């Protein structure tokens, strides 16, 4: 396990999959990695819908952790809005098609979008976990543009070959992939790697 001293930003947008965001933040904090969260207004609605908990309740728990910090979606004066503030990169999980379209076109009208834009311009790690199905050609072109700008596009796809037993297994796999894509681990834990043995 590698130790990050610069913070990782977790952007949470309003696609389905709030559990992925919750588990990503939990995993970063378990690893004592400095973590900064920013959540869109739509994501707060999805959070309540999917997790039967308000985002503020999750925030209250995370704020107990000394390595955790958060900023409001409209707080464009937050340090992460500037390229001069060092970060170890950002993951947007889950990533809505609205946020994908904005990032693809350099739109930076809220703190989540601005921070993603900063990661691209500063050539820092940016990982997007886009969630929508099916995808039309505009979604696909936007994702391609972001990939070409240097980001990792990491759809939350199950590894069926690992024979997941439920949502917890799916979530653990995706979060493991995110941790590797952020450069915080070299490889997935052995039980999440394909071994060829069934
Ligand atoms: C319960 C719920 C589920 C949603 N799921 C998705 C989704 O999976 N993918 C997506 O792109 N948008 C989804 N949306 C729509 C987005 O929330 C909406 O487009 C919003 O404007 C996104 O804003 P944001 O990018 O600022 O978070 C969902 C909305 C709700 C209320």
> pLDDT by residue (tens digit) across 114-147?
999 999 999 999 999 999 999 999 999 999 999 9
Q: Of all atoms in ligand 1, which is nearest to the CA of residue 100? A: 25
pLDDT at 196: 84
Q: What are phi and psi of 170, to 5 degrees?
A: -65, -45
Residue 4, pLDDT above cutoff 70: no
Q: Of all atoms in ligand 1, which is nearest to the CA of residue 96? A: 11
pLDDT at 2: 56
Q: Whose CA is nearest to atom 18 of ligand 1?
A: 14
Task: From 196, 132, 188, select the one nearest 143 (Cα to Cα).
Answer: 132
| CA dihedral for 60, 78, 180, 12, sign (positive or negative) | positive
Residue 135 CA to ligand 1 center (angstroms) comes to 14
What confidence tier does 156 reach under pLDDT thresholds 50, 70, 90?
Answer: very high
Task: From 11, 8, 2, select the one nearest 114 (Cα to Cα).
Answer: 11
Structure tokens at 178: 């995110």
Q: What is the pTM of this model?
A: 0.97
Residue 31 CA to ligand 1 center (angstroms) comes to 29
Q: Are 6 and 125 in contact (CB under 8 A)?
A: no
Residue 98 CA to ligand 1 center (angstroms) comes to 7
Structure tokens at 81: 């809005």
What confidence tier does 3 reach under pLDDT thresholds 50, 70, 90?
Answer: low
Q: Which residues contact 134 (CB under 8 A, 6 or more apart)?
A: none
Q: Which residues contact 54 (CB under 8 A, 6 or more apart)?
A: 44, 47, 48
Residue 160, pLDDT above cutoff 90: yes
Neighbours of 137 (CB within 10 A): 7
**DSSP H or E run through 10:** strand 8-12
pLDDT at 1: 57
pLDDT at 41: 98
Tell me: the pLDDT tens digits for 47-98? Answer: 999 999 999 999 999 999 999 999 999 999 999 999 999 999 999 999 999 9
Out of 11, 38, 42, 48, give the residue to mutate to test ligand 1, the one with the largest number of ligand atoms within 8 Å of its CB: 42
Residue 92 CA to ligand 1 center (angstroms) comes to 13
In three-state secondary structure terms, 127 is strand
Rounded to whole angstroms, the Cα distance separating 79 from 114 reads 11
Q: What are phi and psi of 127, to 5 degrees?
A: -120, 125
Residue 105, pLDDT above cutoff 70: yes
Q: Of all atoms in ligand 1, which is nearest to the CA of residue 98? A: 25
What confidence tier does 102 reach under pLDDT thresholds 50, 70, 90?
Answer: very high
Instruction: Supply the Cα-derived Rg of the chain in whole angstroms.
Output: 16
Q: What is the rounded average pLDDT for all residues in the chain?
A: 96
Residue 45, pLDDT above cutoff 60: yes
């Amino acid at each position: 396990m590698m130790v990050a001293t610069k913070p990782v930003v977790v952007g949470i947008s309003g696609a389905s999959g709030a559990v992925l965001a919750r588990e990503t933040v939990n995993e970063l904090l378990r690893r004592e990695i400095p973590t900064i969260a920013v959540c869109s207004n739509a994501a707060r609605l999805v959070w309540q819908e999917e997790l039967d908990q308000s985002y503020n309740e999750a925030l209250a728990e995370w704020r107990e952790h000394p390595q955790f910090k958060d900023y409001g979606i409209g707080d464009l004066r937050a340090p992460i809005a500037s390229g001069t503030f060092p970060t170890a990169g950002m993951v947007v999980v889950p990533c809505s098609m609205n946020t994908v379209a904005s990032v693809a076109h350099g739109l930076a009208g809220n703190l989540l979008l601005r921070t993603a834009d900063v990661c691209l311009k500063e050539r820092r790690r940016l990982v997007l976990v886009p969630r929508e199905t099916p995808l039309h050609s505009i979604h696909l072109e936007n994702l391609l543009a972001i990939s070409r700008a240097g980001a990792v596009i990491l759809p939350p796809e199950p590894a069926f070959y690992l024979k997941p037993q439920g949502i917890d297994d799916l979530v653990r796999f995706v979060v493991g992939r995110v941790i590797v894509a952020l450069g915080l681990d070299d490889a997935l834990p052995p039980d999440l790697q394909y071994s060829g043995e069934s």
